[in-house]
């Protein structure tokens, strides 16, 4: 394969691999990358695991809309080792040169399948979970160990670069390519007409998992709503904690003003209806949902953690509070909701920053350079 690439101008065949948990940041990130790669240089196919827990593979549907090939590997159980051989066979059948993996399970299966097929594996960590469950922690540990055997590990943020070093990935194996997002998707949705809507709409978009720390978000809203009854909290997304979060919300005085809408095809239209975008995450990569919120010029208030601080600068492009300081974050919510001059100023700066620094096209060009470099080297 290396001689083939070196001796003539040949398209490099890359296979994106993910075990989908829904249609969230990592899945949308793959779409943004694939959409902006030059098809004359990179053929970018997709393969996902088909599991009982995720029967509706939205990513595959969206991928096919781009006119790109996608495949499914059936999984008989949550971690079916037979998937390694199935993936290796697909790699050989489709003449894949490089596999690009996303997520702990995908990294484990992808690294092993790449070794079996004799090709390069690129791993992109999208974030590290701070799970409490011992089984999940063990699984995450295995995923981290798999990264050490990849050809290249390409984190989305500088904090994730440091995390990779901490778990033992050699510095020579890491490469930082700054995250990018397809901002044209945000532009495609017009802002809704809210002239008759007098409620202040506070919004969250993302997975409902432990590191998103949504219990803090609910607590802050409950305290805010006691002072400002004309407020509503809208939560878009799904995940392992959704049922528990909904149950908890029913214990709050503000319960009638909290809406869990789940996954929505019209999420970007709903995003543009928010007066404020909020996050209370305890751990992040560089959150795509936050990029989309800033691109939509929605003011942002969040905890000041690594990843978020690469997108938002306190008092310049949003308002940030120390992790866990719910009182301070509530005050930031109030400032942005009830000081329209401040909100408009910060939101405009956040939009300018994300457009200047986080384009998907720039990201795709840098990945093309990496794929071309790996294609010229022997695994």
Map out the domains of the chain with their CATH numbers. Answer: 2-180+359-375 (3.40.50.2000), 184-357 (3.40.50.2000)
Structure tokens at 142: 């295995």
Interval 286-310: pLDDT, tens: 888 999 999 999 999 999 999 899 9
The values of phi and psi at residue 77, to 5°, are: -145, 180
Q: Which of 24, 166, 164, 49 is nearest to 106 (CA)?
A: 49
Angle at 281 (CA atoms; ends 134, 342), nearest 5 degrees: 175
Q: What's the pLDDT at 288?
A: 86
In angstroms, the CA 11 to CA 68 distance is: 14
In angstroms, the CA 379 to CA 175 distance is: 17
Q: What's the pLDDT at 191?
A: 79
> 270: helix, coil or strand?
helix
* Helix or strand (DSSP H, E) at 294: helix 288-295
Q: What's the pLDDT at 134?
A: 75
- In which residue ranges of the chain is pLDDT below 50? none
- The strand pairing partners of 277, in sequence order, are 203, 300
Provide the residue count of the chain: 379
Complete DSSP assignment for 21-57: SSSSHHHHHHHHHHHHS-TTTEEEEEEEEE-TT----
Q: What's the pLDDT at 351?
A: 95
Q: What's the pLDDT at 56?
A: 59
Complete DSSP assignment for 298-346: --EEEE--TTGGGT--BTTTBEEE-TT-HHHHHHHHHHHHH-HHHHHHH
Q: What's the pLDDT at 4?
A: 54
Q: What's the pLDDT at 57?
A: 80
Q: What's the pLDDT at 133?
A: 72
In angstroms, the CA 63 to CA 66 distance is: 5
Q: What's the pLDDT at 24?
A: 82
Q: What's the pLDDT at 96?
A: 97
Q: What's the pLDDT at 67?
A: 95
Structure tokens at 295: 């691109």
Q: Residue 262: left if φ>0, alpha if ψ -120 to 50, beta else—which one?
A: left
C-alpha pair distances (Å), 89 with each of 83, 96, 107: 10, 10, 17
User: What is the spatial order of strands in the sheet that 42-50 belongs to?
Assistant: 70-74, 42-50, 12-18, 98-102, 120-123, 152-153
């Amino acid at each position: 394969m290396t001689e083939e690439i070196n001796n003539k101008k040949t398209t490099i065949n890359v296979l994106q691999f993910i075990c989908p948990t829904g249609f969230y940041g990592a899945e949308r990130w793959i779409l943004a990358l694939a959409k902006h790669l030059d098809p004359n240089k990179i053929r970018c196919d997709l393969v996902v695991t088909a599991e009982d827990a995720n029967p509706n593979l939205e990513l595959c549907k969206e991928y096919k809309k781009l006119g790109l090939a996608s495949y499914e590997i059936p999984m008989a159980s949550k971690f079916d080792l037979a998937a390694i051989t199935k993936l290796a066979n697909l790699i050989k059948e489709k003449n894949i040169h490089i596999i690009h993996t996303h997520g702990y399970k995908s990294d484990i299966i992808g690294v092993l399948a790449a070794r079996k097929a004799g090709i390069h594996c690129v791993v992109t960590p999208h974030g590290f979970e701070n799970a409490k469950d011992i089984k999940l922690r063990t699984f995450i540990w295995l995923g981290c160990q798999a990264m050490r055997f990849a050809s290249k590990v390409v984190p989305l943020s500088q904090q994730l670069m440091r995390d990779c070093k901490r778990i033992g990935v050699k510095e020579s194996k890491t490469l930082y390519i700054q995250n990018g997002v397809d901002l044209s998707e945000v532009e495609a949705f017009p802002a809704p007409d809210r002239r008759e809507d007098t409620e202040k709409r506070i919004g969250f978009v993302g997975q409902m998992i432990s590191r998103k720390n949504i219990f803090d978000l609910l607590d802050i809203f409950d305290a805010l709503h006691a002072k400002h009854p004309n407020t509503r909290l809208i939560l878009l997304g799904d995940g392992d904690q959704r049922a528990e979060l909904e149950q908890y919300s029913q214990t709050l005085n503000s319960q009638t003003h909290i809406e869990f809408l789940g996954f929505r095809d019209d999420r970007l239209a709903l995003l543009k209806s928010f007066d404020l975008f909020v996050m209370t995450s305890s751990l992040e990569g560089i959150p795509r949902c936050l990029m989309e919120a800033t691109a939509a010029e929605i003011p942002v208030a969040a905890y000041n953690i690594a990843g978020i601080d690469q997108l938002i600068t306190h008092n310049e492009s949003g308002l940030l509070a120390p992790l866990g300081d719910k009182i301070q974050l509530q005050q930031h919510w109030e400032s942005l909701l009830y000081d329209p001059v401040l909100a408009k100023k910060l939101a405009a700066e956040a939009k300018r920053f994300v457009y200047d620094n986080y384009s998907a096209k720039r990201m795709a060009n840098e990945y093309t350079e990496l794929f071309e470099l790996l294609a010229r080297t022997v695994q």
